[in-house]
Chain A
Amino acid sequence: MPSNASERRAVPVRAPLATTADNALKIVVVGGFGVGKTTLVGSVSEMRPLSTEEVMTQAGAGVDDISAVRDKRTTTAAFDFGRITIDERRVLYLFGAPGQKRFWFLWNQLFTGSLGAVVLVDTDRVRDSWYAIDRLEHHRTPFVVAVNRFGPGPGLAEVRRALDVSDRVPLVDCDARSRESSRDVLVTLVQHVSGPVHGSAPTSASTPEDTP
């Protein structure tokens, strides 16, 4: 269990990064409550996901959409994150961020400079994802949609229609409990980012469309 600051610890519980680490990258997994964000992050993370929070006060004003929280002086957003070491200099942080509108202030700081996002969808609550998708499109953040399968449900084509996302956005099924499946979602995202969206030469292998 996380301890509080008054408890002195000589060595952090998590394994340290290499002393040469100097370039941290981010991928954000966004979705509604209970959709499996932390499970997905935990499935691929090299450490048990850590949890922390961000508090927005008036100082956070002036970004965008302040009207959503104007009536409150502070808003607290809890989020989880994990980590994957890429090489001796690069490390990838994976954030699980709540998708509700009132947490927009947290998104701004997590999405800035991120490689991209995974929108994790529960087919029973597809509309929970609408706001996140709208914001990602607005900020031109590359993203993929992953349907966390809890059981039988609508096919991907139907989910795509319900979400109203372009055919260019990869849409995949996943099982967030599975390391392989969660990894494949991230691979799909990075391939998507490496493709036509961001400059590098498009390759024939980088169009990961869903094949129902």
Chain B
Amino acid sequence: MNHGPLQRESPDRLYTVTGGRGGADARALDSVTLIVSECEPVPGMQSEHAAILRTCVFPTAVVEVSAELGLPVSVVRILLLDLLDAGRVAARHPASSVQRAEGHDPETLKQVLLALQRL
């Protein structure tokens, strides 16, 4: 519904935020990879990096970081890769990304079903 703030975002600003880079490796960070801060923001840090560190004190999915910061997912991926490279955040990848060939494990499906049935 309320997509106004993002759509008014200037492409130039998005370019600046990412230092002009594009095309973060989408395989490295799934839209639901959970990000956890490994440190506090430090003075002088790029404001978006600091905002991510504050947001990810608890595990937070990549798309949640995107919604929280009001930045497109692809831009957030690039910022997150910076922080990952610097060891400032950790990424918890979905189990499905490593066991794709076998499909989802039966125990996971069972737990999802039980949780839904509790709703």
| Interface residue ranges, A against B (CB under 8 Å) | 1-6, 8-10, 12, 14, 16-19, 21-26, 38, 44, 50-57, 59, 74, 76, 78, 81, 83-87, 90-93, 95, 109-110, 112-115, 179-180, 183, 186-187, 190-191, 193-194, 197-200
- Can you list 12 pairs linking A and B with CB atoms under 8 Å apart? A17-B58, A24-B32, A25-B32, A26-B32, A50-B64, A55-B72, A55-B75, A56-B74, A59-B22, A109-B73, A190-B112, A193-B104
Per the bound structure, the CA–CA distance linking A70 and B17 in Å amounts to 26
Q: Is B39 an interface residue (CB 8 A)?
A: no
Q: In angstroms, how far is the closest chain A Cβ from the Cβ of B68?
A: 6
Q: Which residues of chain B (46-96) have a CB below 8 Å from chain A?
A: 47-48, 51, 54-55, 57-61, 63-64, 66-75, 92, 94-96
Asked if B119 lies at the interface with its beta carbon under 8 angstroms from chain A, I say yes
Cβ-neighbour of B34 out of A24, A115, A179 (below 8 A)? A24
Chain B interface: which size bin? 35 or more
Report the number of A-B residue pairs with Cβ-Cβ less than 8 Å: 179
Question: In the complex the two chains form, is B115's CB within 8 Å of A86's CB?
Answer: yes
Q: What is the distance, in angstroms, from B19's C-beta to the closest C-beta of chain A?
A: 15
B43 CB to closest chain A CB (Å) equals 14
Query: In the complex, what's the smallest C-beta–C-beta distance from A176 to chain B, in angstroms?
Result: 14
Report the minimal beta-carbon distance from A60 to chain B, rounded to whole angstroms. Answer: 8
Closest CB-CB distance, A157 to chain B, in whole Å? 27
Most buried by B among A17, A44, A52, A78: A52
B108 close to A (CB within 8 Å): yes
Residues of B within 8 A of A18 (CB): 58-59
- Of listed A14, A84, A113, residue having the most chain B CB within 10 A: A113
Do residues B1 and A51 form an inter-chain contact, with CB atoms below 8 A? yes
Please state if A90 and B108 are interface contacts (CB–CB under 8 Å): yes
Least CB separation from A182: chain B residue: B119
A186: contacting residue among B66, B103, B116, CB under 8 A: B116
**CB-CB < 8 A to B33: which residues of A?**
24
Known: A183-B119, A187-B116. A52 touches B55 (CB 8 A): no
| Distance of A16 Cα from B103 Cα, bound (Å) | 28
- B47:A113 contact, CB within 8 angstroms: no
Contact with A along B99-110 (1 / 0, CB 8 A): 010111010111
